[in-house]
Structure 1
Amino acid sequence: MTEVSVELLDRALVEESAKKSGLLWVSAGDGSDRPVWHVWHEGAVVVVGGGAEQPLHGWATGDAVTVTARSKDSWGRLVAWPARVEELPAESPEWAAAVEELKAKRLNSPDFATVVERWARESRVLRFVPAGPSTEHPGAEPTDSHAAAPVPTPVTTRQPAPAALPRLLFGRRRARRG
């Protein structure tokens, strides 16, 4: 294969994996990867965050990140590629086009009719533009596990589930059947 065809195949793998994946992982700069929901729009991954949306971990225009996508079949790492971050200015034509794509994919928005106005007011829209050939792809997978500890969070359950809960839930089903 020629170098041009290898480059085109790599680009196609990046684009298709980003289009088909509902979630990507982006390096956060602290050695960890953060999940983001996204859309593929005009040659780049586009995300919205901040305010009531997903956290964007301080990414800013000009930052270099690594984006990783998983396989829909095996759920394993499929491809990772370097990207540069671009922030779209709120309400610019590029921002408006990206936001329309994001709005269509935003599930369970509590304010679907006014989500665009909310995003303009309190969120940021970032593009992760591919900035070179993939660093991981089929045939060039890493050998280490990439296992990581869960991200610390203040979220917790109010109290432990009662020990009798399974018996209460499943016991009632058996009683109804009999």
Structure 2
Amino acid sequence: MTQTPALMDRALIEEATKKSGLIWVRGSDGAVAPARPLWHLWLDGAACLVGDGPGEQPFTGLGLTDGGTAEVTVRSKDKGGRLVSWPARVTELAPGGEGWQAAVDELKGKRLNAPDAEQITDRWARECRVLRLEPAGAPGGLPDGSLAAVPPQSPATTRRPIPAALPKLLGRGLLGRRRRRGGAAE
């Protein structure tokens, strides 16, 4: 039994996307932002995403419109390098519909640290968009360049230096415990 190239491409896309926790997505229809990493879930032959609401991943600037197209790049879960890029057809699922409900039922189990886990489905119906990115063709070749982009502005900061006195305070506590036990201080 021989596998056709189309079946092999489909299997590569599905397997790589299922195993990757993040996919890099950029809408092909007038997108102004660089590709952005988004968490997703593979369901019924497509990557399902939820976002654009308070506390959820932003889709703004990616050009992800219902009926539009997108470019999806999948990374390796263990090494983080690009495995495959594939064109996708974007479908926005209508809240309450059969497809929307199936996607949301699976997505809410994957949503980590939700502030309102019990009401998450209702909030997503009111305030968010649920998108389905279905493969729409053969995977493209990987680019030769880096594709690195400047990170978007964020209020998040890096760790600040530890206070100068902290190592001494920690050292005293450690040395004091060793002396009480009768051991020598190093």
> Partner residue of 2:153?
152
- 1:94 and 1:103 map into 2 onto residues whose CA distance is 14
The residue identity in structure 1 corresponding to 2:164 is A
- 1:79 and 1:133 map into 2 onto residues whose CA distance is 10
Which structure would you say has the larger Rg?
Answer: 2
Identity of aligned residues (%): 51
> Partner residue of 1:23?
22
CA RMSD of aligned residues (A): 2.5
Deviations 1:115-134 (A, max 9, x none): 11111111110011111110
Deviation at 1:20, TM superposition (A): 0.8
The residue identity in structure 2 corresponding to 1:115 is I
- 1:169 and 1:43 map into 2 onto residues whose CA distance is 57
Q: Aligned match of 1:89 in 89, 94, 119? A: 94
The residue identity in structure 2 corresponding to 1:78 is L
The residue identity in structure 2 corresponding to 1:167 is P
Structure 1 residues 106, 31: CA separation in 2 closer, same or farther (over 3 Å shift)?
Answer: closer
> Partner residue of 2:181?
none
> Partner residue of 2:128?
123
> Partner residue of 1:164?
164
Deviations 1:114-160 (A, max 9, x none): 11111111111001111111013xxxx33212222212223346x94
Q: Aligned match of 1:39 in 38, 41, 63? A: 41
The residue identity in structure 2 corresponding to 1:11 is R
Structure 1 residues 166, 5: CA separation in 2 closer, same or farther (over 3 Å shift)?
Answer: farther
> Partner residue of 2:56?
53
TM-score with structure 1 setting the length: 0.84
Q: What are structure 2's unaligned runs of at least 5 residues? A: 179-184
Q: What are structure 1's unaligned runs of at least 5 residues? A: none
Aligned residues: 172
Higher deviation after alignment, 73-82 or 161-170: 161-170
Higher deviation after alignment, 41-50 or 163-172: 163-172
